[in-house]
Amino acid sequence: MKIGLLSDVVFSGGAQRVARDVGAGLAGRHHNVRFLSEYDGKPMPGGGGLHYTPIPYTKMWHRARFGPPRPVRRALTFFLSRSWDYILASRRLRTDDVDVWNVHNIHGRRMPVWFPFRLSRTKPVIWTFHDMWPITGGCIYAGASQGFLKNCRICTCEFAVNAEKQGFARAGFALRRSLWKFQHDITIVSPSKWLRDEVGRSASAGHVRVEVIPNGIDISLYRPLDRATCRRKHGIPVDAYVALILAGQANEPRKGLDSAAAIAAEAMRRQKKLIFVVAGRSADSVVDAFPERCIALPYSNEQQTIVEYYNVADLFLSPSLAENFPLTILEAMACGVPVVTFGCGGIPEQIVDGQTGFCVPVGDRTAAVSAILSILDDAAVHARLSSAARQHVEQEFTLEIMIDRYEKLMHGLGRR
């Protein structure tokens, strides 16, 4: 089968990694996979059987020293230059080159929202939703706002950025609703049942077919390692209790790092042997807001180093207030690390509460502290949770299971 993958960039976050894993997995099963993505200056990765088609960012109007004022040139860059770039890129792949498209994250850079709909005019499209952006006025999570159920006329989402608050949400939602109304052949894939239900409730895409395919990870890479060895390597006290937090985007309120700092302070006050380890792009800035006995680990893009970071920990704290189906929780459990998290989005579908970790009500810091202490204060409980967490990922969330489901769906659509 000839498969086209589409993502905003090749590298970066979890959605892009899922796209690469799906592509590499299908290529490993002798499918012809082409990956269409923006070129961001980094070398395109080789191997894995994937064929990359980069989309250069021209900025032809944005860089011009003549013509309309700068704000207008910026708008022309987005609506004209980028649209033209994507039209040209899609023409590089002839109709016969692709049997089915799989679209992943497209809002991280400058990809036009209409592009997947254009692709669906000639071939079936599987659009994997990694968040709510395709069905809202521009917010990646609606939060307490229910605007996406009607028209997003007034943005009340607590996670919205300034542009959305200033009135762009209504126009963005109107565009999406019109596109979904006239979509040709799109099947939505949701990693979680929660997001499937949100799509079904939406005023834009509620009529579209949705399949649930949970994200999967490589359990041969994410696995338990010797904890003492990993701690010595990264300068963590061997005899301490260690809780790990990943801080990738400290400026996003939905990541809940304020809650994490408060939880850490109370948990360390009640358990004197406990320290918190923070890893990720924003680790250094986040640690400054935490109490004492908090260590920042240097940012790394190497997956083996990230596996070692998980393995220094006795537990993993995920304080996010809005998520879909985060890979970090699966990775921690695959490394035999129990998880304490707020039960938002699709996270309750990842964790068996009380068996592989604890899912507490969103924002309930007291319950999170109690869950942390219940894991640390009883070695038998920790051992039971650790073993069950690894086993749960092995049974439900491997790459092979995810690729099987995508392959079955693609075969069904490609034969039509």
Q: Which is more confidently placed, 354 or 148?
A: 354
Q: What is the pLDDT of residue 324?
A: 95
Average pLDDT rounded to a whole number, residues 274-280: 92
Q: What is the pLDDT of residue 220?
A: 97
Q: Which is more confidently placed, 327 or 59?
A: 327
Prediction pTM value: 0.89
Average pLDDT rounded to a whole number, residues 22-32: 92
Average pLDDT rounded to a whole number, residues 118-137: 91
Percentage with pLDDT > 90 across the chain: 53
Which of 41-45, 296-300, 404-408 has the least mean pLDDT?
Answer: 41-45
- The tens digit of pLDDT for each residue in 194-221 reads 999 999 999 999 999 999 999 999 999 9
Q: How far apart are CA 17 and CA 19, in angstroms?
A: 5
SS3 231: helix
Q: What is the pLDDT of residue 186?
A: 95
Q: How far apart are CA 250 and CA 383, in angstroms?
A: 32
Q: How far apart are CA 324 and CA 349, in angstroms?
A: 10
**Res 360 pLDDT > 60:** yes
- The tens digit of pLDDT for each residue in 361-401 reads 999 999 999 999 999 999 999 999 999 999 999 999 999 99
**Res 81 pLDDT > 70:** no
Residue pointed to by tokens 């009640």: 270
- The tens digit of pLDDT for each residue in 221-244 reads 999 999 999 999 999 999 999 999
Q: What is the pLDDT of residue 167?
A: 60
Helix axes 327-334, 379-396, angle to 10 degrees: 120
Residue pointed to by tokens 């609703």: 177
**Res 329 pLDDT > 80:** yes
Residue pointed to by tokens 């009380």: 354
Q: 229: how many CB neighbours lie within 10 A of its CB?
A: 13
Q: What is the pLDDT of residue 161?
A: 57
Go through the domains of the chain in sequence order and give each one's CATH number: 2-216+399-414 (3.40.50.2000), 227-396 (3.40.50.2000)
Task: With beta carbons less than 8 A apart as the criterion, state whether 283 and 315 touch.
Answer: no
With bands split at pLDDT 50, 70 and 90, how would you rate the model's confidence at 61? Answer: very low
Average pLDDT rounded to a whole number, residues 108-127: 82
**Res 109 pLDDT > 60:** no
Helix axes 379-396, 365-376, angle to 10 degrees: 100
Please report how many Cα atoms fall inside a 13 Å half-sphere around the Cα of residue 89, on the Cβ side. Answer: 30
Q: Which is more confidently placed, 43 or 199?
A: 199
Q: What is the pLDDT of residue 149?
A: 85
Average pLDDT rounded to a whole number, residues 70-87: 55
Q: 121: exposed, middle or buried (C-beta count within 10 Å: 0-12, 13-18, 19+)? A: exposed
- The tens digit of pLDDT for each residue in 331-346 reads 999 999 999 999 999 9
- The tens digit of pLDDT for each residue in 147-187 reads 788 877 766 776 665 444 546 777 888 888 999 988 789 99
